[in-house]
Structure 1
């Protein structure tokens, strides 16, 4: 996952929490604290974990797929529109082509929208580009994922802080118009190569010298690139009718192609490359705004003052053994922990290599153990449960969280006390729940496995 995608998901999580309230993030916060780093790094780590848990990472993939498909749709529309402009400009060849009507058909709308985009870029930041809004709308619709609804607003908010949205949308708008103009130019070349066209200009109000000056002025830059420009005599003669000379047809055709290339294709190409360059240059500077309320309130949870001062909460006696270097818990150690036992003798007799983490019967004990496991994950973990209790969601979530902190985990379903029988239906619920968690379980003590790694 790229840095941009991480920031994007983080912003989406912030928007989601602002609208729907805080998420259940205890495990995410614990893992972010264990990962270390600056506050922004921890916030991104937390957001990525939450996004993976809640399916937002998959929604982002769907959104990106939809965005690519939307680009393909816009490109196809641009090709078809450009081809339509080319056919409309030259016609079927049965009548002479009015060169300035053809030029207006090929360049008029493009130049008007280009000027409008430039003014919007200068005064409004370019965020109101119609094509840009259409692309975002299509991306969301084609993603077909309800969870992707907050991704587009999150992306825009993230980019607006560095004013990069103007360059992203600018690259899109100019790129689409570049495709349209290239399509129109290709159609014009194909038609000129397969049909015989005559070229004229007509006027009622203006004199011939006006068209001579305009034609020569428009052809100045194309002439520098090697395109022919009609002579003054050709321009004047074309006002009375299409010249039946191959040299005149070729001169007008070359002039028209050169003008479309210089004033239609090249400006869009240059602006698209400029927008891409500005986007790539500014993308590296993207960062979270830690002053936003959604991020500021995470500071104490992800970088508590006790941690920043280098002070750790004192662990209970049992947990001190877990983080002891002599126990080698981090690499090859084994740990036994119990969850909410009702007046049972505990712990059982343990081999010297197996450490006892006690009984988790309060929120504080759970959090402390999880903090320890995030720093010193055991190679083997056995979780003892009392099957006389129902396997509620809280207990199963704790078992899953503990299991994620160890290389291998087994669940020990304790036998009933003497003179008492286990409820078969409740025991079946435990079996079913643990199978869904894909955790091995047994009703006998896994001491051999804890000590040696095998039964």
Structure 2
């Protein structure tokens, strides 16, 4: 079993380099990466490949002095979070002070509505977003706002803006981003509630308040019943809340309260803020933090991207001759007419090659002979029958310059499902037809859709 030799931060740095190299590769120096040895592993390993990418990233970052630019977006996020927490403290304090005002009486339910009402709405929206997987409600708001940030420079991207964009895409989108923004959301609301609670406690320590309640539209018995319902958990915790007589005596216009009633209402207020505001946020903060770490642990790079396909063949290649046994003697392709494949392309020596609608001018690698070229339903059925009865690996060759359509995808999927082993896909090029990166990317996505592992995709 492969041992994980990298962290989520390493994967983010690799993604940042991918974005930079895709836009500003000509500005980078690659001298130090030329001496990186290929993996000695006999079989492809995701963890070993990422370890090789980590080593390569370390060399590139050091050689091109990119460390500060790669750290910049995370530092910006930390600064933004600190500013947000400061604003939350101010807003929490203002909310409590405005609800209290200069009066010596406190409307208990108005105060709870101010401090807990918006928090409850936010909580319901967050739960809905997480449950229904609605990106805009659970994690996507900040990430979507990032598209408007000036550092994106979409028309003239820089190294710094490319690194920032890759960081935002890795850390603030998808499952990782959903839980990272959830952590931030709960931290902000927790700070808001704590600031309001602390200010209320300080005010009640320094001044005597009478607690009142009143309603115009609701029945008279509604708020007293609500008091008993909300106070049940507090009573279970051993706290004293207003009884029915004290609640009725606290209605607006009633006589002046005694000290015992005031203490009961103060306990009810503080307990409600803790039980229904701070405590749920603490639990959800802990849950979100654990899920964020779990999502980061399970985060994987998209190895079907052309960038990683090419690097895999460079960093994980094996010097093995490509050869197919039991080749079709009727094949009319001459080895002399075929370009020699790079040494690091590794095809199983006993692989059985099948072409997918290839023409006669599409070359195969040296010593690889196409057993059957699938061009119609009859040859397709024959290929299915052959593949069903063989245990050797299957090598599917396609013309890389073509754009894969649904028919080709369906055909390859049926061949993959018929194979007893994980098949290979080789993208065959010919000098007379150029292959765009978009077209190559379409073939990689087809391989992913058909269940062909990224390490089994070969370009030549």
Q: TM-score, normalised by structure 1?
A: 0.60
Q: State which of 46, 71, 76 in structure 2 corresponds to 1:66.
A: 76
Aligned to 1:203: 215
Q: Which of residues 216, 219, 235 is equivalent to 2:247?
A: 235
Secondary structure of the equivalent of 2:295?
helix
Match of 2:261 among 227, 242, 248: 248
Structure 1 219/148 Cα, relative in aligned 2: closer, same or farther at 3 Å? farther
Alignment deviations for residues 431-451 of structure 1 (CA, whole Å, 9 cap, x no partner): xxxxxxxxxxxxxxxxxxxxx
Which of 87, 92, 105 aligns to 1:77? It is 87
CA contact (8 A) 2:74 2:167 kept: no
Tell me the distance in 2 between the aligned counterparts of 1:271 and 1:281.
15
CA, structure 1 residues 153+188, in 2 after alignment: closer, same or farther (shift >3 Å)? same
1:174 to 2:209 alignment: no
Q: 1:308 to 1:208 in 2, by over 3 A?
A: farther
The CA distance in 2 between the partners of 1:79 and 1:308, in whole Å, is: 67
Supply the distance in 1 between the matched residues of 2:267 and 2:150 (Cα, whole angstroms): 40
TM-score, structure 2 as length reference? 0.59
Distance, in Å, in 1 between the alignment partners of 2:32 and 2:228 is 69
In the alignment, what sits opposite 2:107? 98
1-structure distance, mates of 2:321, 2:241? 74
Describe how 1:17-32 pairs up with structure 2 within 5 A.
Answer: 17-20=21-24, 26-32=30-36
How far is 1:194 from its partner?
A: 0.8
Cα distance in structure 2, aligned partners of 1:240 and 1:169: 42
Matches of residues 34-49 of structure 1 in structure 2 within 5 Å? Answer: 38-49=48-59
Change (3 A) 1:260 1:24: closer
**Aligned-residue offset at 1:67:** 2.9
Question: CA 1:139 to 1:249, structure 2 compared with 1: closer, same or farther past 3 Å?
Answer: farther
TM-aligned CA deviation for residue 187 of structure 1:
0.5
Distance 1:218 1:247, change over 3 A: same
Partner SS, residue 175 of structure 2: coil
Is contact 1:82-1:180 (8 Å) kept? yes
Alignment of 1:194-343 (within 5 A): 194-241=206-253, 243-306=256-319
Structure 1 residues 2 and 223: alpha-carbon distance in aligned structure 2, compared to 1, 3 A threshold: farther
Residues 163/139 of structure 1: CA separation in 2 closer, same or farther (3 Å cut): farther
Shift in CA distance, 131/250, structure 1 to aligned 2, threshold 3 Å:
farther
Equivalent residue for 2:18? 14
Structure 2 Cα separation of the partners of residues 236 and 217 of structure 1: 15
| Offset, 1:82 | 1.0
Q: Which residue of 2 aligns with 1:86?
A: 96
Q: Is the 8 A contact 1:89 1:103 kept in 2?
A: no
> What is the Cα deviation at residue 283 of structure 1?
2.6
Distance 2:309 2:10 in 1: 18
Alpha-carbon distance change, 263 to 239 in structure 1, aligned in 2, over 3 angstroms? same
Change (3 A) 1:308 1:265: farther
Structure 2: unaligned runs, 5 residues or longer = 42-47, 323-341, 344-460
How far residue 129 of structure 1 moved from its aligned partner, in angstroms, is: 5.0
Shift of 1:289: 2.3
Q: CA deviation at 1:73?
A: 1.1
RMSD of aligned alpha carbons: 3.3
Question: What count of residue pairs does the alignment treat as equivalent?
Answer: 307
Q: 1:162 to 1:80 in 2, by over 3 A?
A: closer
Preserved contact between residue 9 and residue 51 of structure 1 (Cα < 8 Å): no
Residue in structure 1 matching 2:66, options 40, 56, 68: 56
2: CA distance between counterparts of 1:281 and 1:114? 22
- The answer to whether the 8 Å contact 2:179/2:292 transfers is yes
2:240 aligned counterpart, secondary structure: coil
Alignment partner, residue 453 of structure 1? none
C-alpha distance in 2 between matches for 1:132 and 1:81: 23
> Is the contact made by 1:222 and 1:255 (CA closer than 8 Å) also made in structure 2?
yes
Unaligned runs of 5+ residues in structure 1 are 314-455
Matches of 2:191 and 2:148, distance apart in 1: 21
Pairing of 1:365-380 with structure 2 (within 5 A)? none
Residue 306 of structure 1 and its aligned partner are, at CA, apart by 2.0
Residue 208 of structure 1 contacts residue 236 of structure 1 at CA under 8 Å; is this kept in 2?
Answer: no
Partner of 1:122: 131
Structure 1 residue 172, shift from structure 2 partner: 1.1
The one of 193, 215, 223 equivalent to 2:205 is: 193
